[in-house]
Structure 1
Amino acid sequence: MDSSVVTSHASRAKSVKGSLVAALLPLALTGCEAPLNLEGVDKELAKSVRRTDQFQAVAANDSTVLAVGSDGIVLSSPLDTLSWNRQRIPSQPSLVDVETCPDQSFVALGMDGQVWFADSRGSNWRASATGTQESALSLACGPDNSVWVTASFSTIISSRNKGDSWNEVSLEEDAQLTDVTFIDENTLIIAGEFGLVVKSTDGGTTWSAPEFMPNDFYPQGIYFTSADEGWAAGLSGQILHTSDGGVSWQRQETPTESPLYSFHALGERLFVTGDHGNVLELNGKGWKQIDSPKIPVYLRDAQALSEKQLLVAGGWGSLFTVDVK
């Protein structure tokens, strides 16, 4: 199968509509004389963003922004004027992360361990199998365009040649590694289950002995402004802060007990998104709610569109902008 080809909207719509008609036909044969009204189905299939979409991640380069999610859905738009184009990768992988590389290309991660590469417009997708037996969880693209994947059993997978080959190592800890971030070309930090934190200062060649956040903290996302200062977001609305590179952590106050997932910077301002429609902003040593749509769904990721606007993505077709004053 040529993975660079995405199914057209027309063929997908025909398939879904055909399935709906097949499901409704028995009702028509049991005495219902009213004609089938598929107007609502047609309207939903004509939308670029549908209420059944489960978005997991967004990313942008200098000209294009992408949103990815379950069933191989990829939405792309010009960065300056949002106008979504809908694609579907034929094998319908569950895409859990997407990142932009310095060369302006995009890379996405499938839950099955496949990594998908695309051009700067978010087109011409091709798959590369990492070969791991572990569950893939997060993705990063390094300053040298290397690709890094974290997974279960403290597994770190990397490629320095756009997926032509992969290197897999384990820290030999029975922990899920939930996020990875680059601070500079040599410094990476990875965090995971049981509060595990490891650091590399040589571009991922070697890793420090694990440090641990207090109380078996389960980080969902991390963000570092330097090798010393960083934050970790987790379950029950908890956010931890470190000023010594993860040796010690202090809890910061938040206005929610819902899980928090990922951090996003707008200039010098820092935001975090989470479950139950939460979008919070750092305010001193604590966090405050900002004005955003109050929707009871998870908001998994966000992307800065400008210094005054965030694009937020999440469950049940949630893909909207938030203006920040």
Structure 2
Amino acid sequence: MSHTRLPLLFLAFILSSLLFIAPMLASPEPPAQPVEVLAPLGLGEWMKQASHTGHPLRAIQFLDEQLGFAAGDGGALVRTIDGGVTWTPMNAGVANDILAIHFFDAQRGWIAGSQGMLRYTVDGGQSWREENLLFPGAFYALSFLAPDQGWVAGENGQLYHFDGQAWTQQPLPTSYDIYAIAFANDQIGWAAGDEGIILRTTNGGASWTIQTLGGADAFYGLAFANAQYGWAVGAGGVILATMDGGMNWRVQSNPADDDLRGVSMADRFTGWAVGDGGTALYTGDGGVTWLQDNPGVGFDLLAAAAPAPRQAWVAGDAGTIVRWQDPRPTPTPTPTFTPTPTST
């Protein structure tokens, strides 16, 4: 998308949204390895990166364009400090599947996953502390605003809040599995899961309201750019978007019908959704249009991270990690001048 088209795309985004205002019901560091350029043309340049694991990777997070983490089955956990040129295995101390991660920096972070596994580190993974919430099911999602403010959710509608000292269970008005949670601030947040359920809280999780139900067989990913603009992706390639904090959701057009497993937005215009069969969808206009790109892998893609509009990573089966980068030069803003008043 060129710089000069942005106002028109933004106007189209606003106008299309006004047409739909009714709520939807429905070990040691390995040597650096060269990246493999998979698709030099198209929307951008895809480069496969060596993750040093063959396990499916179900979560990926980048704090900036250099520092990132990915995790998955069998306790697989890897880290990069150079944008993925080198990925280093970390010892998570468990064999559980890691289904969700959240790191605050290179030292402090949380992992969650199967059999109620929930752990955190303050020394870059050299040691971990186990949090036992007496829950035997899977934790699928983590959302933290700060080290002393976070949530974890999972099977059977289980949701817990962390205040920096302890975890406390918060009630959800559903027993459906929750696959994704997102908080815009310490009061406003969303949860999504089985049977196409999306819920919203305005009081930090003390109570929740069902916003949609049945829009898809399940929603697996949530991303909010701020308290108003958000996206949910799920089974059958369904993509929903909201411009008003979830009061109203509308379907966005998608050129693929594969199940979508994750979504990440760099801002309210630019982001990626990924899914089965190597599906990768890009938007540069807030989802008014989603364009299908080819990352050059046939494996299911299970997670995405877009720390900046011109850079993203996707992860999935067989330890797949692929980086996308827009090779075009950043447009130079047109300078503006303010006339200097002349004295008379």
Within 5 A, what are the aligned runs for 1:161-172?
Answer: 161=164, 165-172=166-173
- Give the match for residue 305 of structure 2: 303
* One of 78, 83, 86 as aligned partner of 1:83: 86
Aligned to 1:232: 232
For residue 202 of structure 2, what is the amino acid of its counterpart? T
Matched residue SS, 1:198: strand
Alpha-carbon separation, structure 1, partners of 2:78 and 2:92: 11
How far, CA to CA, are the matches of 1:244 and 1:165 in structure 2? Answer: 32
Please list, as runs of the form range in 1=range in 2, the aligned pairs for 1:22-33 lying within 5 A after superposition.
none
Structure 1 pair 201–144 and aligned structure 2 pair: CA distance change class (3 A): farther
Which residue type is aligned with residue 261 of structure 1? R
Asked if structure 2 preserves the Cα contact closer than 8 Å seen for 1:66 and 1:122, the reply is no
Deviates more, 1:211-220 or 1:310-319: 211-220
- State the partner residue of 1:61: 63
Coordinate RMSD, CA, aligned: 2.6
Q: Separation in 2 of the partners of 1:279 and 1:231?
A: 15
Which residue number in structure 2 is paired with residue 155 of structure 1? 158
**1:94 alignment counterpart:** 97
User: What is the identity, as a one-letter code, of the residue corresponding to 1:112?
Assistant: Q
Residue-by-residue CA offset, 1:114-141 (whole Å, 9 max, x unaligned): 2121236444333222222443221111
Alignment match, 2:210: 210
Q: Deviations over 1:26-53 (max 9, x none)?
A: xxxxxxxxxxxxxxxxxxxxx8614x22
The SS at the match of 2:112 is strand
Aligned pairs, number: 277
Name the structure 1 match of 2:248. Answer: 248
CA distance, structure 1, for counterparts of residue 245 and residue 322 of structure 2 = 34
Secondary structure (helix, strand or coil) at the match of 1:191 reads strand
Say whether 1:173 aligns with 2:174. Answer: yes
* Aligned AA (1:270): G
Q: 1:186 to 1:143 in 2, by over 3 A?
A: farther
Partner residue of 2:8?
none
Which one-letter code corresponds to 1:317 in the other structure? G
**Distance in 2 separating the partners of 1:149 and 1:217:** 22
Q: In the aligned structure 2, how far is the partner of 1:305 from the partner of 1:209?
A: 30
Unaligned 5+ runs, structure 2: 1-26, 30-49, 328-344
> How far did 1:314 drift?
0.7
TM-score scaled to structure 2, two decimals?
Answer: 0.72
Alpha-carbon distance, 1:144 to partner: 5.4
- Give the distance between the partners of 1:104 and 1:148, measured in 2 at CA: 20
Shift of the alpha carbon at 1:221? 0.7
Partner of 1:17: none
Unaligned runs of 5+ in 1: 1-7, 11-46
Which residue matches 1:187? 188
Alpha carbons of 1:211 and 1:79: their partners in 2 closer, same or farther (altered >3 Å)? same
Structure 1 letter corresponding to 2:200 = K
SS at match of 2:175: coil
For the 8 Å contact 2:171–2:207, the answer to whether it is kept is no
1:217 is displaced (CA, Å) by 4.5
After superposition, the Cα gap between the structure-2 partners of 1:156 and 1:289, relative to the gap in structure 1 and judged at 3 Å, is same
CA-to-aligned-CA distance 1:75-118 (integer Å, 9 cap, x gap): 11214463121134343121001112379621111211121212
- For 1:241-280, list aligned pairs within 5 A: 241-267=241-267, 268-280=269-281
Q: 2-side partners of 1:120 and 1:80: how far apart?
A: 21
Deviation at 1:249, TM superposition (A): 2.2
Conservation of the 8 A alpha-carbon contact between 1:61 and 1:104: no
Query: Using a 3 Å threshold, how does the CA distance of structure 1 residues 209 and 310 change in structure 2: closer, same or farther?
Result: closer
On the 8 A contact 2:301/2:314 being kept in 1, the answer is yes
Does the residue aligned with 1:153 lie in a helix, a strand or coil? helix
**Secondary structure of 1:194's aligned partner:** coil
The answer for the alignment partner of 1:130 in structure 2 is 133
